[in-house]
Homo-oligomer: A and B are copies of this chain.
Amino acid sequence: VIVVPDRALNATAASLLGFLHDGPLTGWDLVATAQRRIGAFWSITQSQVYRELAAMAADGLVEAGERGARDRRPYTITPAGREAFTAWTAELPAAELIRFPLLLTVGFGAHVAPERLAGHVAHHRARHAERLASYEALKAAAESAPAGYGPDMYRLASLDFGLRYERAVLAWFDALPEEIRGPAGGSK
């Protein structure tokens, strides 16, 4: 078997390997797991998962198992995969990338019709309020879980980031001048 030894992983591939540390998963499961566990600060699409899985299988980092019911095909991490994952964790993570289109619209607000701007702002404020609520529910669930059954300290730390981020975003919305937010009540 010919295996390309150490093509550096990208963060998306690495996170799939991270999930596979806890046992074999199918592409479908990985999509769902990634959405749930890291969706707040890392987006992954189905296409990417299958592509990365195929590439990693070719590189010997994962192994496809027998197809089961509904064609489910579980992937298992290999020793080479663990090694690649460890090598990835040793590298300094890149700076975060934020792409927030609403901020562009706000930043160019001088050239945007005020009702439009206020409408966009109200829409996004509502979405963020929902996300904050969902994170608070997750946090409450984690705190009431019996010790050893809830998510571990590391997962809690990333959840805490989401919580603080959403709170900061909401505070920003609420501090916006009325010229941008529009008449009070539009987003309450």
Minimal beta-carbon separation of A134 from chain B (angstroms)? 14
**Bound complex: CA of A106 vs CA of B37, how far in Å?**
12
Say how many copies of this protein the assembly contains.
2
Residues in B neighbouring A105, C-beta threshold 8 A: 89, 93
Look across to chain B and name the residue whose beta carbon is closest to the beta carbon of A99.
Answer: B97
Instruction: Please tell me if A129 contacts chain B, counting CB pairs below 8 Å.
Output: no
- Given A101-B93, A116-B89, decide whether A179 and B164 contact each other with a Cβ distance below 8 A: no
- Majority secondary structure of chain A interface residues (helix, strand, loop or mixed): helix
Instruction: Please tell me if A51 contacts chain B, counting CB pairs below 8 Å.
Output: no
Q: Is the CB of B157 within 8 A of A123?
A: no
Minimal beta-carbon separation of A142 from chain B (angstroms)? 14
Question: Residues on A close to B: CB < 8 A?
Answer: 11, 14-15, 18, 21, 37-38, 40-43, 85-86, 89-90, 92-113, 116-117, 120, 123-124, 127, 152-155, 157-158, 160-161, 164-165, 167-169, 171-172, 175-177, 179-180
Can you give 6 A-B contacts (C-beta < 8 A)?
A15-B104, A18-B108, A89-B112, A90-B116, A97-B98, A160-B175
